[in-house]
Structure formats: C-alpha cells, structure tokens
Amino acid sequence: MTKASFSEDGLVCWIDPDNGTHELPVESMLPHRFKLVEGVVVDKYEGVTDQKVREIDHEEAMKAAAEAVDGEGNPTPFELPPLDYVAPLPGEGDN
Amino acid sequence: MAVANATTELIIPGLDSLVQSNLNYALTNNLTIQAIQTNLNNTGSFTTLSTNISGLSTDLDNLPTREPLPTFATFSNFNNNPWWSIWNSDMKYISAGNQHTDSELWSPWTGVNYTNGNIGSNSWTSYWMGATPMFQADGHMYLRLNEGYGTYTASNPDNVDYVISRCGVVIGAYGVRQKFSLFLDGSTIQVRERGIGNDGYYESLNLNQTQYSTWFGGTSYGMIGYNDRTRTLVAIEAKDGSNNYRLHRWINTGTNRSLNARSYVTGTLHLFLSEAKTGLTSGGSASYNFYDFQWQASSSQNYNESRYRMRIIPGDNGIIGMARMVPSNTTHYATYTPTSQTLTTNFNTIGLTTSYGIDQGNKYGIRHQITWDNYWVAAYSCYYYYGSGMNTFFIDSRDPRNYFIAQYGSTDNGCSLVPFQRNKFMWTYHVSNADGDIGMRLSIIDLEGAKNGRITSSTISNGGTITMQNNTQYGLFDTKYTSTNYPILLSMPHWRVHQ
C-alpha cells in the first residue's frame, strides 16, 4: 500500500513512497483526501477510488465556478471543462 | 600690448611678434614641454591605450560577475490595499512599498488581485495573485515590485501570460541572474527583456530555416532551455500530438556569443545559431545536432500542456532534463542523453488530481524558478484545478540526473517559491491565514544539503521527497492588515535595492 507522511497537525498529507510514516488505507496518489487524527489515517472520501474522488470534487468545483465572485463581490461565473477533457490538436479549435 | 573696447583700439607696434617669439622659444627649449611633446609623439601610445581600454572593457563585460544574493518580498493586498516588505537573504528588512490603486494596469483587476481569500478550484477570477502558476523566474504575471510608496508596479496579466507561458529555463554562470527571457512559440525564437510582455524583443528569428536548424515543422509552447555555462541552447518541437519530439541542440562557445551577456547585442542569437549550424565560430567551438524520440506516458498525448510545454534543463554534463505536467494525471520527469541518444524515464512521479494547463489558458500550467547559483531548477505545477497546491521537481543543472520531488496537495490556495541565499528556495503556502500572532509561514528548502544526503533531521537519497511544509517558520514576517489574509512571496525583479 502507498505510504504517506503528514504535517505535525495532521492536516497536510503528502505521498511519500520511500519514507512515508503511514500506510494509506486505500491505494491512492491524491494526498488531499487524507488527514491524520490521533495517529490514524482518515480518508475523507471513505475509501472510494481516486477517480471517484475526482468526480466528487468536480461536482463541488462546478458549483463553485457557477457561483464565483471576485473580491468585490461581483459575479464572475465560468465553466469547467469536463473530467474526460481531451485537448484538440492545434488547428482543431484550441490554442 | 593691445587694449581694445567696442570703439577704441590701442596698438603697440612689435608687441605681437615679441610675444610670438617668446612663445616659440618656450615651446622649443622648455624641458617640461619637450618631455610632453616627446611622450605625445611616441608612436601608438594613445592608440595602444585606447585598444587596451577597449579590451579591458570587453573582459570586464565577460566576467561572471556575481550579483547580490536574492531579495524577496512579502506581499498582501487586503481589499485593494497592496503593501509589501522587501527582505534580503540574511532575513533583513531592507525596504518596502505600496501600489497606487488608481493606475492603468492595476485597476482593471480590482477584486481579482486581492489576497484575503482562497482560490480553491477557481480560475482567474478572485484572490488570484497567489495562484501557483502566476510565478516564474521571468517574473510574476501581475506584479513587478519596486521599493517605495505610491509606486506603479502592476503589469497586464492578460498580455504577460502569453509570454511567460512560452519562456524557458535560462541557466547562468555562478551567481549571475538571467538577463533575458528566452521565448519560443512554434519556430519563433526570441530574446526578450526579462519578465516583460507581450510585445517587443531584442531579437526574433524563425528557426525553420536551414541556416539555423533542421526543423521538422512542429509545435512548441516554450520548450526551450539555455545553459550559459556550456553555451548550450536546446529547443524541442513536438512533431505530432502523440509526444513524438525533435530535440535541437546548438553549442557555441565562440567569443561574444553568450546569450546571457549583461548587455545583449542584437544579432548575437543569429550568430549563435548559424555558426553552430555550420560548426564554425571564432575563439571557441560550435556544433548543431538534432535528435528524435518519443516520450508518451500517463495520457500525456491528451493535453496541449503535456504535448508542447515541457521545462527544458540543459545540464553541464550534456544530459538534458525535461519536466512535464500531464493535467489531471501526473507531474513527471525524463532525461535525454545525446551522446547515447537515450531517453530515460524511470524517475519518481508526483500524482495530480483534476488540474489544468495551457489547454484552459496561458495563465495555467507548469512554471519554473532557479536558485542564485543557477545550480537548482524548480519545475512546478499546481496540484488542484487551476492554481492550488504545488507539485515540484528540483533538478540539478550540473547533472540533471540528480533531482528531488515535493508535493503540497492543497485544494485551497496556491504556493510561492522564490530563490533564497545561494542555493536554496524560500517557500510558502497561501492556504493559511496570517491573522493574529502567526504572520507568514515560511519554509527554507536546502537543495545542496539534500544533495549531500541530509534534510533537516533525516537523510534523503536522490529522487527522494522533500517536505516543503515541514519546519515552517512562524511569526517572523509581519504583513499588512489585521484580518483574514493570505499573503504571498515574490522574487524581486532586481536583487539590489535602488538598482
């Protein structure tokens, strides 16, 4: 299982295959889903796959994008590309 | 004697000739005057002096003059109240400044450029000053700080982003900061003023000419790197969308062929490239080669970011490092060895969650910084969506096979990484509020120590993970305002105050 390390307060995780201090409860490359509570690794996404984590995050991100405002409170909504986005080649309409 | 005014002139006959005679006698017989005349008449004396001064001037210009150690600024902008303090590498406060908020380049982004909130998954909308991809060795996309109050220091991020996203790594001599920005877009290569965009350059050439290269005709968004220590320029073009590449390498150690000269002379790039192509230069050696290879991994063929935007590090030992962000997949690394025409990809990788590169705009994607000694290049991308978190490769420009990795898997805000002391970076994450008695949280990343196998209180081996957020220093740096705020670090455009 993948190893990871945590900051002193347990809130920040980083994947650390060689020298990680804790084994993760699920195979993952996404450190933001984990925290350390009283010495125990907690998966905030309750054991789903990394892909499912991305889908859950994307729901939140799309909501945030639709409700985005600048620092003055002016609406600045925008759209997110879909999770399965593949860039067209140059000359096919992108960049 | 002659006395004259506007209406009267008194003439004493013979006086003029007497004066002239005495003067001639003095010029002919006075020993001091004779000595001066003799010295002046020494053949070539002034010519030799002039030649020597010119030669000395050239030598001085070519000296690898070390520059002051890096300075950096702590910056905050709470509700359109932009202030910064400037510190040197001894952690000494040396100056400060603030920005007029009623200026042409600042005011259009009022509200976007605040630091009193987290960006989360948002794009260029709010609190964006501290987003991870806003920083690069060439400069910050929005801020070019100076010392002084009521200054005008903003730039136009909607213009600068196009340039910075296409500028590559410039590795200078020991202690010499990069003097220019090296730009490549398609086959257009440009030497530009560092950090300035979007129009204007010192020199612009089309590489797709036989006098310069055997160009394939592919695509490149800034896949270029220059090492002034070895006078090696490397440009890579993608031959297709499947990560087939052509790597071009020019070497020109001829006299006055440094691209990183203190005062760039237009035409140097033309000479550098064309002489390398012919293999003929003066006062050094010149060569040009190109190499084809494919590096496709982790869906890298699916994104323009990973097709066309690698960071290129031409090492002193001839090995070329290449760091790449594959959005929503990984940040990874490879080397290419021209002597054996070998691509090596078995380096540690850093995972990414959903994240975006240049496909979603020029403000997003991989960036780079370099230490004062020019030995360590940091190639980094965000971790989450457009600008939060950080995945970093630290690459040794002496031998790009030496590297370390680091990750800050934040979903809340960006990070900033600036050169510090000789061979270190200063790092901060913008997630944590500087309110109350905390102040900014700063971490020092000691790469030369890591290369020697030590990091804070433990060991590390090549390719190991550096923990950026450990050993954070609290309470050292105060910043503007007393409420929730997320200040950032900025490298100063000039490291000497009043420069």
- Segment A25-74, tens digit of pLDDT: 999 999 999 999 999 999 999 999 999 999 999 999 999 999 999 888 99
For residue B90, the enclosing domain spans 73-491
User: Do B272 and B163 share a structural domain?
Assistant: yes
What's the confidence (pLDDT) of residue B331? 98
User: Which residue in chain B has the smallest CA separation from A20?
Assistant: B465
A32 to B389: CB separation less than 8 angstroms, yes or no? yes
B427 contact partners, CB below 8 Å, separation of at least 6: B415, B416, B417, B418, B442, B443, B444, B445, B468, B489
**B2 found inside a domain:** no
pLDDT for the residue A95: 43
Do B194 and B252 share a domain, yes or no? yes
Residue B412 and residue B310 share a domain: yes
Residue B281 within a domain: yes
Q: Average pLDDT of B411-428?
A: 95
In a domain, B349, yes or no: yes
Residue B249 and residue B288 in contact, taking contact as beta carbons nearer than 8 Å: yes
Total number of domains constituting chain B? 2
Residues B263 and B343 in one domain: yes
* Predicted local confidence at residue B497, as pLDDT: 61
Q: What is the pLDDT of residue B108?
A: 92
Q: Are residues B43 and B189 in the same domain?
A: no
Residue B499 domain-assigned (yes or no): no
Is residue B45 scored above 80 in pLDDT? no
Q: What is the pLDDT of residue A94?
A: 46
pLDDT-derived band at B496 (thresholds 50, 70, 90) equals confident
Residue B68 lies in a domain: no
Tracing tokens 């691209």 back to the chain, one arrives at B259
B470 touches chain A (CB under 8 A): yes
Mean pLDDT of chain B: 91
Average pLDDT on B73-85 reads: 93
Q: Do A54 and B353 touch (CB under 8 A)?
A: yes
pLDDT at B471: 78
* Residue pair B219/B254 in contact by the 8 Å Cβ criterion: no
Give the chain B residue nearest A31 (alpha carbons): B409
Task: Look at residue B50 in the predicted model and tell me its pLDDT.
Answer: 78
B80/B37 same-domain check: no
In a domain, B498, yes or no: no
User: Are residue B320 and residue B225 in the same domain, yes or no?
Assistant: yes
* B46, B117: one domain: no
- Chain centroid, CA B230 distance in Å: 17
Smallest CA-to-CA distance from B489 within B60, B76, B193, B46 is with B76
Q: Which residues contact B37 (CB under 8 A, 6 or more apart)?
A: none
For residues B53 and B134, state if they share a domain: no
Q: Which of B244, B390, B465, B484 to mutate to test the interface with A (most CBs of A within 10 A)?
A: B465
pTM of the model as a whole: 0.88
How far is the C-alpha of A46 from the C-alpha of A35, rounded, in Å?
Answer: 12
> What pLDDT is recorded for position A77?
93
From A18, A57, A94, residue closest to B465, measured CB to CB:
A18
Among residues of chain B, what percentage have pLDDT more than 70? Answer: 96
Collapsed DSSP state (helix, strand, coil) of residue A23: strand
Could you give the CA distance from residue B431 to residue B382 in angstroms, rounded to a whole number? 13
Q: How far apart are CA B479 and CA B220, in angstroms?
A: 40
In a domain, B242, yes or no: yes
Task: Give me B141's structure tokens.
Answer: 């996309």
Distance from CA of A56 to the nearest CA of B (A): 11
| B93 and B42 within one domain | no
B438 or B44: whose pLDDT is higher? Answer: B438
Q: Are residues B106 and B33 part of one domain?
A: no
Q: Tell me the C-alpha to C-alpha distance, in Å, between residue B169 and each of A12, B117, B138, B160.
A: 31, 31, 9, 17
User: Cα B381 to the chain's mean position, in Å?
Assistant: 17
Chain B closest CA to A46's CA: distance in Å? 17
Mean of pLDDT values over B224-242: 98
pLDDT (0 to 100) of residue B195: 78
Residue B54: is it exposed, middle or buried by C-beta count within 10 angstroms (0-12/13-18/19+)? Answer: exposed
What residue of A is the nearest CA neighbor of B386? Answer: A80
- Chain B's closest residue to A78, CA to CA, is B123
Query: In chain B, what residues touch A78 (CB-CB under 8 Å)?
Result: 122-123, 125
Chain B: nearest CA to A52, how far in angstroms? 11
What pLDDT is attached to residue B21? 85
**pLDDT value, residue B262:** 86
Kindly state whether residue B364 falls inside one of the protein's structural domains: yes
- Residues in A closer than 8 angstroms to B305, CB to CB, are 87
Same domain, B30 and B112: no
Q: What pLDDT sits at residue B61?
A: 66
For residue B231, pLDDT over 90 is answered with yes
At residue B126, the pLDDT reads 84
Strands B488-491 and B2-4: unpaired
